[in-house]
Structure 1
Amino acid sequence: MTTRYRVEYALKTHRRDQFIEWIKGLLAVPFVLYSQPTGILNPDAETVTRNSNEAHRRYAEILRDVEHMIDDHIARQNSHNTIPSKLTMLVPTAGPFFTRLPLEAAFKYQDSRRHISSRRYVCPSFNDIRLTLNSAQAMAVTSGSLQLATFDGDVTLYDDGQSLEPSSPVVPRIMDLLRRDVKVGIVTAAGYTTADGYYGRLHGLLDALAASPDLTHRQKRNMVVMGGEANYLFEVDPDAGPSRLRAVPRAEWLTPEMAAWSEQGIVALLDVAEAALRECVRSMSLPAVIVRKDRAVGIVPSDPSIIIPRESLEETVLVVQRILELSALGERAERTIPFCAFNGGRDVFVDIGDKSWGVTVCQKWFAMRDGDPDGMIRGENTLHVGDQFLSAGSNDFKARSVGTTAWIASPAETVELLDELVMLMDREKKVEAN
């Protein structure tokens, strides 16, 4: 019999971000106290304003308190204090923070846009808090020095399964980052072994970069594509032919840790993953076929018109991930060869490595190319933008361990975030000038 514990874990826990849920719970109290959902259609305007102002004040106070708890958490993690921070005790899943987060200021900004404090029937939501955290992170990286911005592909730069067209509003905004000497990395799960596949997905941006008259040759080359999570590196080169991309030999960019991953171990790990995927296809009668690549294995619909239910994809991810973790091979491989099992929306794949390694390669590659072979762009100077940050089956989640992150839900939100970044960078420049 399926226990209630298993139902709660399998269907809910892995679909939540505990930090955001905790903040959401904190904000529920002032919402209940000051929302005044009386059912009156036209309440007194003065009362409405007073309640909205009071709710705003209380929300801001709570987020300021959380901000201070994060400050304490950062101080303890940087001093390697063995005594857990208050935040860790309250939210055990809270990971490392690379910058402090000005949550109070970020909330005031988002409240001016989303009018959170004025709502009487809908309390501060997951998305309200997610976007507030994004704004806080944008404020933090621009008050320091943003050197590297990395992006997921599907749902982040373009709609799922689509490509980055010349008309996309994302294109001029990424070019503006390059114009400001911010390096850019597209870190995608798409595992093409040649440049043509990535050109097909990114042609709007790559063609615009090649044709741009105001970007220097070096600025145009300040963008790379890391494919297959962390397996194929391509450098943008306007002189590289129609694809605008130059494949970088693996020996030139592998980190020492990645170079230690044996080919035998990679093949063995993928064999276990493939067997688990085949069993999922059999046991759930999935209309899917196995796809095996040199650094990945997955299932895709047997017919492009078929849509596999999300629940089946989620189950497959959790089963394969668990089998790899519990098997003797998985225990050994987890220490030496990282893997990422994730739900791609229409398919499920297991890749060698994960996006923490992909972002790390970008950090090291640009430092090495700029003359510092032993250096790397630091986590506090890196921002990774993606749409999958849940703890299981979400391939952007691991990027949190190597840099700051922003969690978006659509390409339109990416555009809004980039506009916010540019606004903050311009404001910071004015402050420095004065």
Structure 2
Amino acid sequence: MTPPTTILQPQTFKSRVRVRVRRSQSLYRLCSKASAIMTTRYRVEYALKTHRRDQFIEWVKGLLAVPFVLYSQPTGVFGDGPSVTQMAEEAHRRYAEIMHDVELMIDDHIARQCDANNFPSKLTMLVPTAGPFFTRLPLEAAFKYQDRKRYISSRRFVAPSFNDVRQILNSAQTMAVTNGVLQLATFDGDVTLYDDGESLLPTSPVIARLLDLLQKNIKIGIVTAAGYTTADRYYERLHGLLDAIADSPDLDAIQKQNIVIMGGESNYLFEFCASSPHRLAPVPRNNWLTPEMASWSEKDIENLLDVAESALRDCIKSMNLPALIVRKDRAVGIIPKTPDVRIARESLEETVLVAQRILELSHLGSSHDRPASRSPPSVPSRCVPFCAFNGGRDVFVDIGDKSWGVTVCQQWFGSKSGNGAIRGENTLHVGDQFLSAGSNDFKARSVGTTAWIASPAETVDLLDELADLMQKKLS
């Protein structure tokens, strides 16, 4: 028997359509929310991986989390009542005590790293990646300084963060180098002196701070991953600073010579030359190579770059990356096929880790940290140091790394003064890439003190803090 045909009235039909549309919209919102949760969870889990974190900062952050949990009052009542003030005072006291205790542990670590017995310090056992330290760090004083700026102790809902600890360490390091004698300041380029992919323009506020360093007879080295072989390309990126130095009436001829550009991590050295159309003159490699660097054979370098190029080609193929291979005399890398293409961050980091691992297994190269010593080994090693790093839009494998670039600056200025190489405790390297994988500033920790910044604006703040401390020391 044929069922009777149901004839829907127009109003009934419209109502059912609206119900179905609402259900579809609800399902879409539910899926979007689930997708957002999954994406957020993935980002959090990815960011927590070992190669993306600094173990020492994470350890200090964990110590500070305890008094935050015990003393914070995350109530719904807003205002600055007596209880909130007392909470802030108690939290400040406990945070300062923890920083003082860590400060003492670093003092013990410094004493033991100079000990021939090589017994591990307590800090080494707790944080195996910590050190070396070239100066003691006044962490308690640095915390009190940053607490006045960031009101860390007054927060009730947000615990002391990674950035809080990073800024405290930066302040402690600037206090330490001004307690001694700062002779050399080295800087990364992108994200440190200027925005990523941009240039150092005449209007940049960092220029006046760098000129102030030169006036104080502090040498400057710009140690950049940009591997240009000619002066004109560096002038394009740094013309604001170079022209300001050339035109400055406050700098004498000797002070104007107190700046060098080290390109390709540690492969091309340029010194200031006011008469040159590009304000720079290349320095022949034989004039600045350290004895260890001179022991690296061209054949070993060529073989290492061949293996690196093969690894990069495999990554392009396996992940279908929209990238091209770029081969230079001291580097090889991948860049996007067109300027408007962006390669996913995860793909870039995978490429870094693959290239690094393959090169280490090949026994041709070494990416491990150098010991805190510049004395050449009695028998030259066949392993050529290299740095595989993520530049944000590209990946490059360079011969050497920034520890060698900073060392060249130390020896270059030291030899000109006749006093020997500038020591690590008299050197401050400022950069933005200090994570352990794919980050080229990380290596500079083995040859001098460091400051970890996240933007050119932070570099300006750091240099202002440094200038203020120097002025107080003079007065």
Q: Label 1:130 to 1:10 Cα distance change in 2 as closer, same or farther (>3 A).
A: closer
| Cα offsets for 1:177-222 (capped at 9, x unmatched) | 0000000000000000010111011000000000001100110100
Question: Alignment partner for residue 328 of structure 2, among 280, 286, 293?
Answer: 293
What corresponds to 1:71 in structure 2?
Answer: 107
Q: Check conservation: 1:342, 1:392, Cα contact below 8 A.
A: yes
Indicate whether 1:34 and 2:71 are aligned: yes
What corresponds to 1:414 in structure 2?
Answer: 459
- The aligned amino acid for 2:66 is V
| Cα offsets for 1:133-182 (capped at 9, x unmatched) | 00000000001000000000000000000000000001010000000000
- Identity of matched residues, %: 75
- The secondary structure found in structure 2 opposite 1:289 is strand
- The aligned amino acid for 2:179 is S
What's the offset of the Cα at 1:369? 1.3
Q: Check conservation: 2:364, 2:383, Cα contact below 8 A.
A: no
- The aligned amino acid for 1:354 is D
Which runs of 5 or more structure 2 residues have no equivalent in the other structure? 1-43, 368-379
What's the offset of the Cα at 1:329? 3.1
Question: Alignment partner for residue 249 of structure 1, among 276, 284, 296?
Answer: 284
Aligned 1:114-133 pairs, distance under 5 A:
114-133=150-169
Q: Check conservation: 2:47, 2:53, Cα contact below 8 A.
A: no
What corresponds to 1:4 in structure 2?
Answer: none
Indicate whether 1:284 and 2:329 are aligned: no
Q: Check conservation: 1:226, 1:233, Cα contact below 8 A.
A: yes
What's the offset of the Cα at 1:10? 9.6
Q: Check conservation: 2:311, 2:358, Cα contact below 8 A.
A: yes
Aligned 1:26-425 pairs, distance under 5 A:
26-42=63-79, 45-239=81-275, 241-330=276-365, 336-372=383-419, 375-425=420-470
Runs of 4+ in 1 over 6 A off after TM superposition: 7-11, 331-334
TM-score, length basis structure 1: 0.95
Which runs of 5 or more structure 1 residues have no equivalent in the other structure? 1-6
CA distance in 1, matches of 2:455, 2:381: 32
CA distance in 2, matches of 1:23, 1:334: 36
- The aligned amino acid for 1:309 is A
What corresponds to 2:40 in structure 1?
Answer: none
Q: Check conservation: 2:88, 2:153, Cα contact below 8 A.
A: yes
What's the offset of the Cα at 1:392? 1.0
Over alpha carbons, which structure has the higher Rg?
2
CA distance in 2, matches of 1:57, 1:111: 11
- The aligned amino acid for 2:413 is F
**Length, aligned pairs only:** 420
Q: Check conservation: 1:55, 1:117, Cα contact below 8 A.
A: yes
What corresponds to 1:3 in structure 2?
Answer: none
RMSD: 1.6
What corresponds to 2:375 in structure 1?
Answer: none
CA distance in 2, matches of 1:72, 1:11: 29
Q: Check conservation: 1:325, 1:334, Cα contact below 8 A.
A: no
